């Protein structure tokens, strides 16, 4: 069956999942962390046995955890070639441990007709095994060829619009030409990021970088620039993916300080690849 607009509000069955120290190390490497960042050491994210440096997890790692846990809500079928990741938001209710066990529940928050496409908004809430909230996320899927059935959401003004002034900070990271092959080991094996023929069928000249990999690079920049590299200060991050990134591109994260948070964009040259970015402190 095609996308089912009546699935709004449907909730999947909770599922328990775990992650390890190795998973956290692999994620950090997948989003470009190394021995050093321009702001200082990153060994707390990339090693587990450095003297006097306890291992920590990058806050954005939550987007890779719990995928497939439990039984997700059914909202219909679609051709995966037509799927584009549109928006992503995360809220951390406590710092993410480097290893742990949690329970995830996913619900369909909205399905919106865009004419020749539709938006499916999935919300995910994660708690520890005692029921204490750990994080929540919202993931918007843009699915081409699945619209035309009538439900239009009232258009809202864009959030987190970049101010009309130079950014207060710019953090630049160079991605690797094989970045997508490394990042996919975190669980997203979509061939759009590895198979040239699949990427061509989706309209791209070659495999593109995962949007969530760009999200992770951007989160690293915010963590170091705004939180003094302390994950406990990292509260929330909202983005809209506006243009694809190719492995090997340089990412320039432009940050406008807003007192209790920040607005940001991520650019490749003059092209904005992450827009409407909002950051909040814990």
| Predicted local distance difference test score (pLDDT) of residue 259 | 86
Give the Cα separation of 49 and 55 in Å (integer): 8
| Predicted local distance difference test score (pLDDT) of residue 154 | 64
* Positive or negative torsion for Cα 5, 190, 22, 35: negative
The arrangement of secondary structure in 5-281, i.e. its CATH architecture, is Roll (3.10)
* Positive or negative torsion for Cα 48, 249, 230, 106: negative
| Predicted local distance difference test score (pLDDT) of residue 153 | 64
Residue 260, token pair as written in the block: 């209790």
| Predicted local distance difference test score (pLDDT) of residue 151 | 61
* Residue extents of the structural domains in the chain: 5-281
Give the Cα separation of 195 and 207 in Å (integer): 6
Q: Nearest to residue 12, comparing CAs of 71, 69, 65?
A: 71
| Predicted local distance difference test score (pLDDT) of residue 40 | 79
Which residues does the annotation mark as catalytic?
Answer: 188, 193
Give the Cα separation of 179 and 42 in Å (integer): 18
pTM of the predicted structure, to 2 decimals: 0.93
| Predicted local distance difference test score (pLDDT) of residue 81 | 78
| Predicted local distance difference test score (pLDDT) of residue 101 | 98
pLDDT averages per 10-residue partition of the chain, 282 residues = 86 95 98 87 96 97 88 86 90 98 95 90 96 97 86 73 96 97 95 94 94 98 96 98 97 95 98 98 96
């Amino acid at each position: 069956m095609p996308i089912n607009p009546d699935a709004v509000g449907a909730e999947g069955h909770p599922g328990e999942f775990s992650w390890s120290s190795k998973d956290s190390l692999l994620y950090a490497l997948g989003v470009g962390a190394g021995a050093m960042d321009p702001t200082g050491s990153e060994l707390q994210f990339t090693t587990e046995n450095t003297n006097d440096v306890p291992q920590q997890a990058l806050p954005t790692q939550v987007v890779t955890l719990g995928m497939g846990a439990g039984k997700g809500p059914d909202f219909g079928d679609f051709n995966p070639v037509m799927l584009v990741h549109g928006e992503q938001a995360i809220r951390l209710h406590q710092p993410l441990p480097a290893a742990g066990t949690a329970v995830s529940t996913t619900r369909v928050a909205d399905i919106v007709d865009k004419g020749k496409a539709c938006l499916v908004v999935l919300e995910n809430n994660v708690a520890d095994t005692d029921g204490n909230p750990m994080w929540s996320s919202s993931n918007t899927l843009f699915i081409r060829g699945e619209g035309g059935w009538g439900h239009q959401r009232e258009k809202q003004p864009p959030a987190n619009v970049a101010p009309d002034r130079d950014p207060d900070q710019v953090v630049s990271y160079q991605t690797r030409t094989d970045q997508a092959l490394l990042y996919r080991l975190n669980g997203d094996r979509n061939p759009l990021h590895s198979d040239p023929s699949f990427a061509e069928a989706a309209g791209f000249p070659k495999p593109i970088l995962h949007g969530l990999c760009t999200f992770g690079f951007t989160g690293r920049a915010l963590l170091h620039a705004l939180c003094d590299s302390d994950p406990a200060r990292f509260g929330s991050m909202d983005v809209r993916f506006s243009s694809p990134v190719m492995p090997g591109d340089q990412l320039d994260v432009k940050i406008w300080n807003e007192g209790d948070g920040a607005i940001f964009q991520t650019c490749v040259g003059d092209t904005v690849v992450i827009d409407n970015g909002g950051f909040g402190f814990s």
